[in-house]
Amino acid sequence: MNLLKAIGILFLASVACAQSYEVLSSRVTTVVDSIPNNNNFHTPIKLISYQDDFYASLYAGNQLAIFSYKKDGTRNTEFSGDGLWVKTFPFTLSEVQVAMDEAGNFYLATLNAGVLRINKVSLSGVESTTFGSSGVFSFTVGNGRIAGMTCRSNKIIVGGSSGTALYGLQLSTEGAADQNFGSSGYATYVYANDSPVLSSMTEDASGHVYLAGLINYFSFGSDRMIVRFNQTGLDTTFAPNGIKIISTTNTINNVRYLNNKLWFCGSRFASGSDQAVIMAINASNGNSITNFGTNGELVVGKNNLYDYLNDVVRLKDGTLLGIGYSWSFFNYNEDPYFVKFTEDGKLITTFGDSGQVRLPSFPAAERYTKAIVSGSQLISLGRYNFNKFIVLFTEVFPLDGKPDFPTGFSPNGDFKNDVFEIKDIDFADRNELKVYDRTGNLVYQSKNYQNNWDGTNNNGNPLVDGTYYFVFFYNDTYFKNYVEIRRK
């Protein structure tokens, strides 16, 4: 029997036994893929959704690859000819991040010998030769970690840690350092003795960027930290030096911003095993939300030897869906799972088996570390059997899915259809709206759009009637379309 078909049948049997039809349908598409002629570990970097296509980035050895898929799991051959773009570096990769801008350009950040390098690649798979200096932006940050990279409003921000320092670097999408950020585009804080290790990044609805990780890294029982950057550098309105220390020994696999909160996905060691746990943090001040679960934490895993939570997404009914995996020495095969809970920290025990739906064992299927939502699909990416990777396209209902855009509106003051109203989204989550005229000029922009654009430009002056082009960023996805302003 075909391997993918067998995996799909096992998955469906698992879901049926768990009686989870409330949220999971009977449709799943499983894709196992690999970089051609590369038998190294395949490490996932990021999943990106652009319009109706998906882009999975990963690295193995000295190669970085971007695979593109349609929503049915087939390769998107419009990308780079066969749905695959590969770049070979002159060094082995270990710290890598990928981001995409609204035009569909990819930015690839690598760290080697203390030098951070960023390359730019178009949606058609052509590498830029004019970005930065001769196609590469380089900056010396020292050996360490790249926590993440994001691209918004024609700005790229990369954050991480090196030795006793943490840093943020901001530049334009053309590869020039942003002179208004930190010192010539570079913001840093240096500890005297402690060693921060930042490993994850997220962004809120107002454009703040958060880095999360450890402090006192070489000390047993090290604390966790959150770093917040604004448009000019470290955000001292968030906490002194823009840094908040949280007293917990939980590991942090990922941090996600949802509904004005930061969600720390990870695990904690207790009673001889690792327990999957999620923490809720106030995004305004970095304090734990103590009425979530027990003192701001909720254990969501089962009684396995090793149980981890890697990501969380919001469902349309206001509940949250976590994505994790578990394994033990007695059964090395790792079991990805979904867990459902409320925003105040209560497991929804009617979902699956006491709040959890466990997928069947995959041969060393490791760390479903990345997940995104698009329409009614949850797409998750993980390492598979060491030298491959796996993507699951799972139908999940009811997701906070694809926005419903109007084709036009009439801002004439009659209180009927006066604003550009986007339906089927949660405005508490981060979003950004940009509107362009026919000549490509940006005429309106809102980083936290609240259904209030009334046909005026950024200066408050009415735009002429006609057709405009808009780009809307939401749920880690860029949406593009046209809208007509017609007052009569």
Overall residue count recorded for the chain in this entry: 488
**Lowest-pLDDT choice from 43-52, 120-129, 132-141, 164-173:** 43-52
In which element (H, E) is residue 145 found?
strand 145-152
Mean pLDDT of 144-156: 91
Tell me whether strands 224-230 and 233-234 are parallel, antiparallel or unpaired: antiparallel
Helix (H, G, I), strand (E, B) or coil at 9: helix
Answer for the pair 383, 366: CB distance below 8 angstroms, yes or no: yes
pLDDT in tens, 411-451: 998 888 999 999 877 666 678 899 999 999 999 999 888 89
Q: Find, among 405, 434, 410, the residue nearest to 421 by Cα.
A: 405
Residue partners of 38: CB distance under 8 A and separation at least 6: 60, 61, 63, 387
When pLDDT is cut at 50, 70 and 90, the band that residue 17 belongs to is: very low
Amino acid in the structure at residue 265: C
DSSP assignment of 326-392: EEETTEEEEEEEEEEE-TTS-B-TTTTBTTEEEPPPBTT-EEEEEEEEETTEEEEEEEETTTEEEEE
Give the single-character DSSP code of 288. Answer: B
Amino acid in the structure at residue 87: K
Mean pLDDT of 201-224: 79
Residue partners of 443: CB distance under 8 A and separation at least 6: 435, 436, 437, 457, 458, 463, 468
Distance linking the first and last C-alpha atoms of the chain: 63
Q: Find, among 175, 179, 133, 184, the residue nearest to 156 by Cα.
A: 175
**Lowest-pLDDT choice from 68-82, 88-102, 164-178, 378-392:** 378-392
* All domains in the chain, ordered by first residue: 3-396 (2.130.10.10), 408-485 (2.60.40)
- Residue 154 pLDDT greater than 90, yes or no: no
pLDDT in tens, 124-142: 889 999 999 999 999 999 9
**What pLDDT, on the 0 to 100 scale, is given for residue 37?**
94
**What pLDDT, on the 0 to 100 scale, is given for residue 333?**
54
- Cα–Cα distance, 270 to 146 (Å, whole number): 29
- Residue 186 pLDDT greater than 90, yes or no: yes
**Lowest-pLDDT choice from 183-192, 380-389, 399-408:** 399-408
pLDDT in tens, 2-16: 333 332 323 323 322
When pLDDT is cut at 50, 70 and 90, the band that residue 305 belongs to is: low
